[in-house]
Structure 1
Amino acid sequence: MKIFYLRLLFCATSFFLAIGSQAQYRQTIANETVLLRNVNNLLPFKRLDQHKIAIVTSMPEKYKAFIEVAQRYAEVRSYDFNRYDENTKYCNTIIVAGTSQDLRSDLLLMVKQSLINKKQVVLVRFDDGGNRQPWNNRVLGEGAVEVAVPSMQTQAQVNAAMSLFGGLAITQGSNKTEQTRIQYAGGANFGLDVSRMEKKIDAIAAEAIRERAAPGMVVMAIKSGQVIFEKAYGHHTYAGNVPTRVSDIFDLASVSKIAGTTPVVMHLQETGVIHLDSTMGRYLWQAKETNKKDIPLRRVLLHEAGFTPYIPFYRYLKKGDLQRQPDVDHQVKVADSAYLRNNYYRDVMWPEMLASPVKPVGNYVYSDISMYVMKEIAEHETAEPMEEYVQKLLYRPIGMKTAGYNPRTRFPRERIVPTEHDTSFRKVLLQGYVHDQGAAMAGGVAGHAGLFATANDLAIFGQLLLNRGEYGGVRYFKPETVDLFTSKQSRTSRRGLGFDRADPDPKKEYPSKLANEAVYGHTGYTGTCIWVDPKHQLIYIFLSNRVHPQVTTKLLDLNIRSRIQDAIYETINEAKR
């Protein structure tokens, strides 16, 4: 058996190495931004969790395009020079942007104090008459990183912001940089007929909304590191009061498996903390006396452990387990005005999962229990809650600003797209509380569900995978780790480790009739998906709330997700002719 898996790994690794071990970014934009001075090689910014960034300008509205693009990459606050000292006190990276006329000496004296306080200062000079020499500034001296941008036009502002964060390579002058992050450009740069593609996608989205497959959705596509399509459709609900925005936060459902739990498992595996051919009993004391003690982790990740597919725990609640108001014994908030008895997951759910029947190991049976198990193992090995560990390991460093669990603790309700009006369990509209009942009863954090995010966050994660573990100039996973988990690892299914993959049977047209066998990703019950295609250096993301107001199969019946993916492939294939 081990020889079989080693062969699979060798084949997968050989395939990916043939594609290339580095990010296959394609820069088609003429970037006139010049990096005049790069103190300590600060630019482009690397780990974003190490930067608390403020952009200071004389008039934020004047630099709106620059600020908005910077905010796509990182948590960035914007201020004018009023109360400069107070506003920047808790920031360690200050981006000061303006023309020579804007950046008067009295204002720069305040900026100099930031340098004295050992803060990192980036001076971005717009429309400076083509001056490509470091500013001979007696006020600031040479302590600041200095960038020159020869225009105040919107595209110049966008390019400057992308240049700071590595979304666009700086190719002019002596201080050159490389692209290290997603670029917010346009598909026309690849010779793609984006307008025609948009019309196709618009029609499919309109059909989905008209047929009540989902009230709204966001579609995003990234090719070779460039965003070629990003658009929101419809509304949060069929009432049509709140239009869907590309910045909206969605319940990702089972996409949580690959964007939440699996990255933690990948890290633990490659650092030798866990071993995929070791058993559940090795890592979980409570499993040692159960029928699951000898099941290898590899089988768990492949959904070949013989677990029960699904246990509807919410149907077994007893009187007094759930109530409308919190009290000392009911602190687990599963929705607005719905509180579960404390430790219900620990005392009832997890023991029942461990005691559940097991069928013979080896056959593919998709089961949520698999990722409950992997979350438990990860938390025992890291000694940290998974929702905190994955933030520290991945989300904050690479700039996934909204990704996480229990979003109502971090974001206003209005920014989160509602899912089902739950009539059987919580009896309330779910907005910012996980749709999956089991995940909700586990406190909103489960291995198989519970993750919320924007499309942009998933795009960043997808690009990290396409780059085989590297993003923003920092390596987070070994290339061979990404190859192992995302490649086919089963004799009985199409699955990778945690990841789903394109079905090799062309008749199934999954996830798309034009997808190739290298494609990997996952779908989510709420009407979501992300698919990564190394062959075409393509990431496709679809987010919706197809379960609103009640669960419906229309999104599947109309094949909406696959047809939109087909439209993207058709556009790419047409450009090759």
Structure 2
Amino acid sequence: MKTTSPLSLLLTLVSIFVSTVDLSAQYKQTIVNRTTLVQNSGNIIPLQRLDKLKIAVVTPVKGKYIPFVEQVQKYAEVSVFDFNMYEENTKYFNTIIVAATERELRSDLAALLQQSAVNRKHVILSLFKESAPLENPWTSPASQSGFTKLVSPGIDATSQRNAAMSLFGGLALTEGKLKTEQTRIQYAAGESSGLDISKMTTRIDAIAKEAISKHAAPGLVVMALKSGQVIFEKAYGSHTYESKQATAVDDIFDLASISKIAGTTPVVMTLQEQGIIHLDSTIGHYLGQAKTTNKADITTRSVLLHEAGFTPFIPFYRNLKPGDLQSYEDSDHQVKVADNAFLKNNYYQNVMWPEMLNSAVKPTGNYVYSDISMYVMKEIAEHETSTPMEEFVQDFLYKPIGMKTAGYTPRTRFDKSRIVPTQHDTAFRKVLLQGYVHDEGAAMAGGVAGHAGLFATANDLAIYGQLLLNRGEYGGVRYFKPETVDLFTSNQSQSSRRGLGFDRADPDLKKEYPSKLANSSVYGHTGYTGTCIWIDPKHQLVYIFLSNRVHPQVTGKLYELNIRSRIQDVIYETINEEK
């Protein structure tokens, strides 16, 4: 007869308790949305799986609808055109969003859009009313069949932004007969939130200024969401202390160990809930290479809890031999670890992974934070899915929910200027790192590792954080079961504060981690490069801080000045002072 261990019983009780407490998303729409949904062909609004949509935004007047376009770009990858060469430009798009006034939609343009409908494209009209109604091609029922149509009461910037948010579920549509619910983040800068946003901004500005002036980091981005609404989003400083390029809110940062919970862990979560990975199965069960090692009988649960007894860190780059790394690419050196730095082919497979498999282990059960843990979980996931982890996570999560920049090896996907530089590496790669992962081991593994390598914007992390607050649902689509999110993010250890992959608020209030006002529901992670994301179900809060505190060299001033926690404190204090 199989017996249940005290630990398993405790964890089961914790899971049951968590599932009985309603910590689901509680969207709170505080702004008035006058956009009206007149027709919803195929019930396409609000838009759902963004990976299934190739979106073109078309305007009759080039450059006129900038607030609308910019808001749409917060949610999805889009291409923007006017009606010049319309058919050719929109040929490869399956969703056409038109922003225009009724006056601008002449009969010839109407004919073009009707042809798109014939070609089985979704045509969405976002019309903005002018002062006087006009006779136009869209008044007859026949001309409107097959289209989706939204109408806004004005053409001002607020009306444009609200219309764009309405398309994606960032705002619920409450006017008229056809209504929708909020399903995505709302970008309203705390409008009508009851919070003193001005006071909060002044206080955060002062802390950010202190961080930059005292060289804790040359630049940073802070973002906060409350009840599904962005209440704060601001960039500070510059990419470097030379101040040649100002930091922007859509800059891409090296997330460092946030990769553990936003890259590897969601892959493990979906495989666990599908029954592909079992938390109490062993490393040796999944990895043939581990069967003859001291790691064969270690469970994946203990690995995710950092209780596997692994060594914390192996400085692989210090063991390079002459000829392993060189400044130019050739047939034997094609692993690019930085600009003008190329590693010998298969170094990870031939040297690093075998060294990890054969490294010493201590008795399991004690908490020892180790990067090796997520190297192992990445290997397990890739063997089970037969897919590189970076591809798998893009396809099942990032692309569908609109995480536009999140991913590994960003220099292959984005212009260098969009990526915030990190350290000027003087020990290993001998160059300024920009778009190449700061972590040496992750770089040597080709830029994709379980513990590091992920790059993203604050907005991408906000989307992921809201998905977790929603307990697995976003944009009207469920990606994780609620109980899966509860299991991984709740405390699952008898010896530490940790969840499965996730870090959590420290129960010792004297440590004030991650904030003196954080509560027991808070989970998330920090990153060595000066980053963090913390999700608070109790207050329906997501807090994101991104910086490059390791530039030009590693400094501890971000910790010494307690910058991340103090900003988080300000946000909590603002919420607690809600009008």
Deviations 1:406-435 (A, max 9, x none): 000000000000000000000000000000
How many Å separate the matches in 1 of 2:23 and 2:458? 26
1:470 to 469, 473, 476: 473
How far 1:523 sits from its partner (Å)?
0.1
1:519 to 508, 522, 532: 522
Does the aligned pair in 2 maintain the 1:268–1:274 contact within 8 Å? yes
How many Å separate the matches in 2 of 1:216 and 1:546? 8
How many Å separate the matches in 1 of 2:146 and 2:423? 54
- Per the alignment, residue 445 of structure 2 pairs with 442
Does the aligned pair in 2 maintain the 1:37–1:134 contact within 8 Å? no
In the alignment, is residue 360 of structure 1 matched against residue 347 of structure 2? no
Deviations 1:290-312 (A, max 9, x none): 00000000000000000000000
1:374 to 374, 377, 384: 377
How many Å separate the matches in 1 of 2:376 and 2:68? 45
In the alignment, is residue 44 of structure 1 matched against residue 46 of structure 2? yes
- Per the alignment, residue 403 of structure 1 pairs with 406
How far 1:123 sits from its partner (Å)?
1.0
Does the aligned pair in 1 maintain the 2:23–2:538 contact within 8 Å? no
Deviations 1:210-241 (A, max 9, x none): 11000000000000000000000000000000
1:330 to 328, 333, 336: 333
The letter of the residue matching 2:158 is: Q
- Per the alignment, residue 419 of structure 1 pairs with 422
How many Å separate the matches in 1 of 2:297 and 2:183? 43
How far 1:475 sits from its partner (Å)?
0.2
Does the aligned pair in 2 maintain the 1:338–1:426 contact within 8 Å? yes
How many Å separate the matches in 2 of 1:35 and 1:50? 22
In the alignment, is residue 251 of structure 1 matched against residue 262 of structure 2? no
Deviations 1:49-76 (A, max 9, x none): 0000001011242211011000100001
Number of aligned residues:
575
How many Å separate the matches in 1 of 2:557 and 2:19? 36
How many Å separate the matches in 2 of 1:503 and 1:558? 19
How many Å separate the matches in 2 of 1:33 and 1:129? 16
Q: 1:415 to 1:139 in 2, by over 3 A?
A: farther
How far 1:10 sits from its partner (Å)?
3.3
How many Å separate the matches in 1 of 2:137 and 2:111? 18
Does the aligned pair in 1 maintain the 2:31–2:191 contact within 8 Å? no
2:324 to 305, 321, 326: 321
How many Å separate the matches in 2 of 1:155 and 1:144? 24
How many Å separate the matches in 2 of 1:2 and 1:52? 51
How far 1:130 sits from its partner (Å)?
8.8
- Per the alignment, residue 68 of structure 1 pairs with 70
- Per the alignment, residue 279 of structure 1 pairs with 282
How many Å separate the matches in 2 of 1:318 and 1:435? 21
How many Å separate the matches in 2 of 1:463 and 1:95? 25
How many Å separate the matches in 1 of 2:299 and 2:152? 56
Does the aligned pair in 1 maintain the 2:23–2:469 contact within 8 Å? no
How many Å separate the matches in 1 of 2:14 and 2:188? 35
- Per the alignment, residue 83 of structure 1 pairs with 85
How far 1:138 sits from its partner (Å)?
6.8
Q: 1:294 to 1:134 in 2, by over 3 A?
A: farther
Q: 1:328 to 1:536 in 2, by over 3 A?
A: same
- Per the alignment, residue 199 of structure 2 pairs with 196
How far 1:4 sits from its partner (Å)?
2.6
Alignment RMSD, CA only? Answer: 1.5
What's the secondary structure of 1:11's corresponding residue? helix
- Per the alignment, residue 98 of structure 2 pairs with 96
The letter of the residue matching 2:554 is: V
The letter of the residue matching 1:61 is: G
How far 1:131 sits from its partner (Å)?
7.5
What's the secondary structure of 1:190's corresponding residue? coil
Q: Which runs of 5+ in 1 are unaligned?
A: none
How many Å separate the matches in 1 of 2:191 and 2:177? 29
Identity %: 70
What's the secondary structure of 1:434's corresponding residue? coil
The letter of the residue matching 1:107 is: L
How many Å separate the matches in 2 of 1:140 and 1:206? 56
- Per the alignment, residue 113 of structure 1 pairs with 115
- Per the alignment, residue 490 of structure 1 pairs with 493
Bigger Cα displacement from structure 2, 184-193 vs 136-145: 136-145
Matches within 5 A, 1:283-294: 283-294=286-297
Q: Which runs of 5+ in 2 are unaligned?
A: none
What's the secondary structure of 1:575's corresponding residue? coil
- Superposition TM-score, scaled by structure 1 size: 0.98
Does the aligned pair in 1 maintain the 2:442–2:452 contact within 8 Å? yes
How many Å separate the matches in 2 of 1:131 and 1:29? 26
Q: 1:467 to 1:134 in 2, by over 3 A?
A: farther
Deviations 1:169-221 (A, max 9, x none): 00011110000000001224221111111111111101100110000000000
How far 1:466 sits from its partner (Å)?
0.1
2:344 to 341, 344, 353: 341
How far 1:137 sits from its partner (Å)?
3.8
Does the aligned pair in 2 maintain the 1:258–1:521 contact within 8 Å? yes
What's the secondary structure of 2:329's corresponding residue? coil
In the alignment, is residue 268 of structure 1 matched against residue 267 of structure 2? no
What's the secondary structure of 2:21's corresponding residue? helix
Q: 1:232 to 1:9 in 2, by over 3 A?
A: farther
How far 1:129 sits from its partner (Å)?
5.6
- Per the alignment, residue 568 of structure 1 pairs with 571
Does the aligned pair in 1 maintain the 2:165–2:186 contact within 8 Å? yes
What's the secondary structure of 1:19's corresponding residue? coil
